[in-house]
Amino acid sequence: METSKASHGGAGFGTAPVFFTAISTILGAILFLRFGYAVGTLGFWGAILLIIVGHLITFPTALAISEIATNTRVEGGGEYFIISRSFGLKIGSTIGIALYLSQAISIAFYIIAFTEAFEPFFNWWQGYFGFELPRQVISIPALGILALIILRKGAGMGVKTLYVVIGILFIALLMFFLGKPVETEEALRQPGNNFGFFNRDSFFIVFAICFPAFTGMTAGVGLSGDLKNPGKSIPLGTLSGTAIGMLVYLAIVWKLSVSASQADLIEVQLIMANIAIGGAIIIPLGLAASTFSSALGSILVAPRTLQALAFDKTLPFRKFNYLMAKGKGQSREPFNATIISFFIALLFVSLGDVDFVAGIISMFFLITYGSLCLISFLNHFGAPPSYRPRFKSRWYFSLGGFLLSVWVMFMINPVYTILSFVIIIIIYLIIEYYNKDQKGLVNIFKGALFQLNRKLQVYMQKKQSDLDVEDWRPAVVCISSHSFQREKPLDLMKWISYKHGFGTYFHYIEGYYSKQSNAEAKKIKKELIKLENEEDNALYIDTMISPSYTSAIAQIIQAPSISGMENNMVLFEYDKNETSEIDRIVDNIKLTKAGNFDVCIFAGSNVAIRPKNGIHIWIRATDLINANLMILLGYIILAHPDWYKSHIKIFSICSPGKTDETKEELQGRIDTGRLPITLTNIEIIASDSQLPFNEIISKHSKQAGLTIIGFRDESIKHEGTDFFNSFAQIGDILFVNAAQFKEIK
């Protein structure tokens, strides 16, 4: 297909470049310059542990990359492409920028290390001329030559050069393994004394310096856009490079431990030269070959990552995106991106400190590897149908790799780790600002949250019993066709479901289900969600299409709650100025009572809610079952920030002569339930008053923020709608009818 050719640049590389790029980067600068120091500092077993911990991060990452690469057609950009197509462009670009910087800085790291191969020359210069020559006289020209090769010849020339330097590298390693232990007359410098100690205090310091040795396993992934079959070449080349690299490192640690003393390993940077056959020539040559090939691999990969970032137009600068995405020639060589990468590398080459640059690279790579492992884990856990990789890892490998990456970062340097995450967050916020329509953080965990919610709902359904009543919390449903005209019912649902409960609000559309009504419902739902899009809002919003109000209620009371608990309360709402609305509510209360639901009826007024005036709860002798639910609802509503600094006041109407007894009973109920109500919040009113019930309430609660009144089934039978219409002088009222007694614990 034409598309495939274009995306792969026409180069058509096989598995070999992936493997050789990976293995040449793995067996690179750190191997020659710092592994002798690592063995001398940590001892044999400490160095073995270092290799194991490093590969406990890199192996899961290699498995994750191999898995994701066989699930999708991997194009240009390597690891960035994998991350961005899995996490979305916002997250992908954020991590991609960190990845690109680590790759660009890696070029400098390997060039600085390459310069160490000329240590005999620098020693001769200092001895002959009497002053030390700066390393940059070699490193900067070397970087320039490398950049010139890539800019003029492209990736094809780079891969050809790679085969040559790989041959030199393996000859150097062969001569090292065939070499003999270092001979010395000093007893303290006798080889083989590296097995009896483990310097724990220095472990993570040495780990930060040596970890870039293992990061080369992903170097070949960056060639994804130039591969004939990335789905085959990436897993095979990456995993084989990682496995062989680990075995070689284990063998090198053993060889170093038996061939040199601890003092020599720490003091002599190129100790391998003293062990290998012809080491004075072959080891510096091997170091030069490995570091040059690693730098070559990095300068092949880094520009392609930047080019892929720019091609997705995720960077905030439009002109910069255009320039970096632009390719040269038929194979679209990233000429401009290579120049930028060269200048970044030049900046760090000027610093000239191997250990400092290695520490920076470790942090960037650990973030990238942790992200790749997290992608794999979330895909396993979320189980999206589109995730069908031909190569399969295990979720616990990926989770372990992610957790270990984060833990190691903190163990290396907590301050740098926090700083790294702060930088990542800043980058993400900038990219999100310029790419609002792309997938963001929510999409990362969507599948995992879906699976978790599914399992929890099934578990909770199996475990539900009548004992749930003892730990009651509201799971309320409300249906209204006036969502855009009346804000108060939505606010009330929001208050009830804020902290202690869960609410589902249905916008009612009268009519039959059709393509047109479904489209209308989706549009309304989207608008309502947008209106209610605020933090700490536990209200779930949906729409209901039904031919009648009664059939709509019948549907919602049978619908399962997405909270995992059964719905237990129905909230009706009406405008007190539209008295006809209460008629159809009263007609349907019996329907809800058949399902053993608590029933609340909100009568909204035209007066603005005044939370500072408090919540007034009216309790009568007939409210034996309703009383506790009314008090609990008052407390639940009071917990919402809208009612901050408000209060609850309880009014109890009792029989003549029972004022003290009623107050004592109420206080005991409140004390037992540990509710924030004191004696000053309780007012007992004797029923010998000549005023009817509704006028007593009007007298005391006319200015209340919200008034809660209980009602019984008998009230509806005898008075019908007249009971609800008799409180015209009061503001907003919540009428409450409990299906059963609620215990206040």
Domain with residue 352: its CATH number is 1.20.1740.10
Query: Domain for residue 324, yes or no?
Result: yes
Q: Are residues 405 and 510 in the same domain?
A: no
Query: Domain for residue 451, yes or no?
Result: no
Band of pLDDT at residue 9, cut at 50, 70 and 90? very low
Please give the single-letter amino acid code of residue 267: E
Q: Is the pTM of this model over 0.85?
A: no
Which of 1-15, 214-228, 298-312, 523-537 is modeled with the greatest confidence? 298-312
Domain extent for 168: 2-443
Query: Domain for residue 459, yes or no?
Result: no
* 559 pLDDT higher than 90: no
614 Rama sector, left if φ>0, alpha if ψ -120 to 50, beta otherwise: left
Q: Are residues 610 and 488 in the same domain?
A: yes
Q: Are residues 59 and 121 in the same domain?
A: yes
Query: What is the distance between the alpha carbons of residues 276 and 544, in angstroms, rounded to a whole number?
Result: 80
Range scoring the smallest mean pLDDT among 274-288, 386-400, 453-467, 553-567: 453-467
Range scoring the smallest mean pLDDT among 408-417, 550-559, 561-570: 561-570
Q: Are residues 480 and 419 in the same domain?
A: no
The three-class DSSP label of residue 716 is: helix
Q: What would the two tokens of residue 357 be? A: 């640059």
Residues 70-126 have pLDDT tens digits of: 776 666 556 777 777 766 777 778 888 888 888 888 888 888 878 877 878 888 888
Mean pLDDT value across residues 319-324:
85
The three-class DSSP label of residue 88 is: coil
At residue 443, the pLDDT reads 58
* 57 pLDDT higher than 70: yes
Nearest Cα to Cα of residue 320 among 331, 330, 328, 312: 312
Mean pLDDT value across residues 446-453:
65
Residues 29-46 have pLDDT tens digits of: 788 888 888 999 999 999
Mean pLDDT value across residues 639-661:
83
Range scoring the smallest mean pLDDT among 131-145, 154-168, 428-442, 453-467: 453-467
Residue 207 near residue 408 (C-beta atoms within 8 A): yes
* 535 pLDDT higher than 60: no
Q: Are residues 102 and 12 in the same domain?
A: yes
Residue 206 near residue 274 (C-beta atoms within 8 A): no
* 607 pLDDT higher than 70: yes
Q: Are residues 424 and 495 in the same domain?
A: no
Domain end call among 395, 412, 443:
443
9 Rama sector, left if φ>0, alpha if ψ -120 to 50, beta otherwise: left
Residues 668-695 have pLDDT tens digits of: 766 665 555 666 778 888 776 567 888 8
Could you count the other beta carbons within 10 Å of the beta carbon of residue 700? 17
Q: How far is CA 699 from the centre of its chain?
A: 55
* 179 pLDDT higher than 60: yes
Range scoring the smallest mean pLDDT among 8-12, 606-610, 663-667, 671-675: 8-12
Domain end call among 394, 413, 443:
443
Per-chain mean pLDDT for the chain: 81
At residue 29, the pLDDT reads 77
At residue 477, the pLDDT reads 92
Query: What is the distance between the alpha carbons of residues 278 and 738, in angstroms, rounded to a whole number?
Result: 92
Range scoring the smallest mean pLDDT among 214-228, 327-341, 373-387, 415-429: 214-228
Q: What would the two tokens of residue 488 be? A: 């108060």
Which of 43-57, 117-131, 182-196 is modeled with the greatest confidence? 43-57
Mean pLDDT value across residues 355-383:
77
Largest Cα–Cα distance of the chain, in whole Å? 118
Q: Are residues 436 and 481 in the same domain?
A: no
Domain harbouring 728, CATH code: 3.40.50.12370
Q: Are residues 520 and 388 in the same domain?
A: no
Q: Are residues 539 and 587 in the same domain?
A: yes
Query: Domain for residue 321, yes or no?
Result: yes
Mean pLDDT value across residues 169-197:
78
Query: Domain for residue 743, yes or no?
Result: no
Mean pLDDT value across residues 368-373:
82
The tally of domains found in the chain comes to 2
Band of pLDDT at residue 467, cut at 50, 70 and 90? very low
Domain end call among 412, 443, 474:
443
Query: What is the distance between the alpha carbons of residues 30 and 11, in angstroms, rounded to a whole number?
Result: 31
Q: Are residues 470 and 430 in the same domain?
A: no
Q: Are residues 295 and 158 in the same domain?
A: yes
Q: What would the two tokens of residue 362 be? A: 């470790």
At residue 6, the pLDDT reads 36
At residue 382, the pLDDT reads 67
Nearest Cα to Cα of residue 623 among 652, 593, 581, 658: 652
Q: Are residues 142 and 187 in the same domain?
A: yes
Nearest Cα to Cα of residue 47 among 217, 188, 199, 230: 199
Residue 189 near residue 274 (C-beta atoms within 8 A): no
Residues 239-294 have pLDDT tens digits of: 888 899 899 999 999 999 999 888 888 888 888 989 999 988 898 888 888 777 77
Bridge partners of residue 546, in order along the sequence:
510
Nearest Cα to Cα of residue 222 among 55, 338, 395: 338
* 299 pLDDT higher than 50: yes
The three-class DSSP label of residue 272 is: helix
